[in-house]
Structure 1
Amino acid sequence: MTAPVLVTGAAGFIGHATAHRLLDRGERVIGVDIVNDYYDVALKEARLATFADRDGFDFHRIDIADADAVAALVRDHRIRRVVHLAAQAGVRYSLENPFAYERSNLAGHLSVMEACRHAPGFAHLVYASSSSVYGDRPMGGAGFSEDEAATDPVSLYAATKRACELMSQSYARLYGFPQTGLRFFTVYGPWGRPDMAYFGFTQKIMRGEPIEVYGEGRMARDFTYIDDIVDGIVGALDHPPAPGGHRVLNIGDSHSVGLMEMIETLEHAIGREAVKVMRPMQPGDVTATYADISRLNALTGYKPKVMLAEGLARFADWYHDFYRINARG
């Protein structure tokens, strides 16, 4: 029997969706999450509850920074493939609680790599990086490329993600196991994170409360629907580099959308206009993101399918159902 896939961050937005996709195709999945209170624990528990009737899913509530616990899990279940998505997320929160990023992102990543390097026949570690590693560079005609130096992070979160890439590069060379880092651009959709702008905007618009629009609305993001992101994750998992190889790949939509356009699209999906309060740029934020996804496409055939209007409409419907709010009222 094929060994299960370890998915860290299984109670999180992307980890939850990835675990379900792997189960859908007949994989066994070991899910790991500490289920911290960075955002609504009830939402995380609700995500976990969706696995209750899924055969082949086994959940462990552990801290990925606990190196002994992670090593024991990998050893006991004979793990050979890992999708490492657990991390302390959020640019702004890194200004308030920096040591959470040291533990979850740096010590956690090291724990996972150490467990992988001691696993006999280990096949592939896919881990989450971030588009934030590119810093606040000017938008040009082309998308952000993996060839860029990524040496000027503007937040601690971004710095930890770039550090994880360098740690993985060194471990791949030292210990010979294949690794792929995925630089996620802005991911959205049902079961998403409440700290993300589109989620918070939806909450406030439905309650009739004003929304705060940072950067005076002049920011832009490469919004990528969750199902498309999972396509890329699973595709990357199935195409490991050669032994000792390490690579980083962008994973996004390759279409940058202005913040005001996103808000207008969300208003249409909800059926209600937002009251907007313009605010200056927040520390740690970047002006724009835009993914060049040509390498992931060449490797896996990755091609996003869900446009923003459809994706936000799906999110609004999910939000209405999940929170029992009359979104069209």
Structure 2
Amino acid sequence: MILVTGGLGMIGAHTARALLHLGHDVVVTAHRRVEVPSFLEGRVTVERLDVTDRDAFLALGSRHDISDIVHLAGSIPGDDPVEFFRTDTAGLLNALDAARAWGVRRFAVASSLGVYIGRPEVPWTEDLSLPSVALPHLIIAYKKAVEPLTTHSLAGSGVQPVVLRIGTIWGPLVDPQSPFCPIPSLVNTATSQMHADDGGDVCYAPDAGRAIALLTTAPTLNHEVYNVSSGRPFTYGEFASALGATLQPGGSSGPYLDISRLTADTGFKPEFDVPASVADYLKWRETNPR
């Protein structure tokens, strides 16, 4: 059985669905969000868990035979950055404790494409050294710290770390007000202040979930760090075109993630192009609020 913390969030839920499709039993943890998406209902075991509670976390191992962990649980920063870092670090360390105590095979953890901020190269590849620069958001700063915390904590344990440098993900369950991805607002309203050639890294959530599931279950992996995204840049003009709308001309595309390493080790290729992702999302929104 594979444990997905934060498994009812957008990326977690799509990861759980992909793992089920690959034939694995899945247990997901939920804390704030407890609504089970229709595509998971009756198919996963849901454990109510505050991941900062170490004893409760470790007790999961007495109820489930957990072979691998995908740690995606996280909080949203409030006014106190120290409290945010304390909360999410406690959850990470408890997950790492559990991985070592249970002797799992693989521990995958969410990092971010934001760790590359400051690198001028395009696309961003995993072998780039991460620069020491000011970061624009507390979540990105935390994700950058997650990487050495994870790899050093698991060194010598027999548990294989997999750092997931996750790109700009959108799709069913996305927060329409997300500061990291303007596509939901564009799709919802078909209007935007963006320019047609603005854009950069984008990946549809079912594709991202499948990539993470493949990295979690692959027989062997040759690396500890993997970019997770579509592997190509997109423009917002492409999304507008799929909606039958137009944007102001101009703009420029931003950086994007290279996924050659992911593809080489798992065979992953995205299944959704822009028209297919927009159509799938609009169909989802017909009967779902987000």
- TM-score class normalised by the smaller sequence: 0.7 to 0.9
Gap change, CA 1:217 and 1:158, over 3 Å in 2: farther
Q: 1:107-144 deviations in whole A, cap 9, x for unaligned? A: 2111100111111x421111111101111432x4x411
* Residue correspondences, number: 282
1:19 aligns with 2:16: yes
TM-score, structure 1 length as denominator?
A: 0.76
Structure 1 runs (4+) greater than 6 angstroms displaced = none
Pick from 70, 83, 107: which aligns with 1:83?
70
Q: Give ranges in structure 1 of 5+ residues lacking alignment.
A: 37-43, 277-286, 325-329
Tell me what 1:281 maps to: none
* Correspondences of 1:1-329 after superposition (within 5 Å): 4-35=1-32, 45=35, 47=37, 49-54=38-43, 57-88=44-75, 94=77, 96=79, 98-99=81-82, 101-119=84-102, 121-138=103-120, 140=121, 142-152=122-132, 154=135, 155-194=137-176, 195=178, 196-205=181-190, 211-213=192-194, 219-239=198-218, 247-257=224-234, 261-262=235-236, 264-272=237-245, 288-323=254-289
Q: 1:29-53 deviations in whole A, cap 9, x for unaligned? A: 11102125xxxxxxx6252x54333
- Structure with the higher fraction of residues in helix conformation: 1
Q: 1:220-274 deviations in whole A, cap 9, x for unaligned? A: 32111222222211211123668xx9711111112112xxx31x33333334557
Q: Secondary structure at the match of 1:30?
A: strand
Deviation at residue 25 of structure 1 after TM alignment = 3.3
Q: Give ranges in structure 2 of 5+ residues lacking alignment.
A: none
Q: Distance in 2 between matches of 1:77 and 1:109?
A: 19
CA RMSD between the two structures? 2.9
Q: Distance in 2 between matches of 1:72 and 1:102?
A: 24
Q: Distance in 1 between matches of 2:107 and 2:150?
A: 9
TM-score, structure 2 length as denominator?
A: 0.85
Gap change, CA 1:102 and 1:58, over 3 Å in 2: same
Q: Distance in 1 between matches of 2:16 and 2:258?
A: 26
Q: Secondary structure at the match of 2:4?
A: strand
Q: Secondary structure at the match of 1:118?
A: helix
Q: Distance in 1 between matches of 2:114 and 2:275?
A: 24
Q: Distance in 2 between matches of 1:100 and 1:18?
A: 28
Gap change, CA 1:59 and 1:103, over 3 Å in 2: farther
Deviation at residue 86 of structure 1 after TM alignment = 1.4
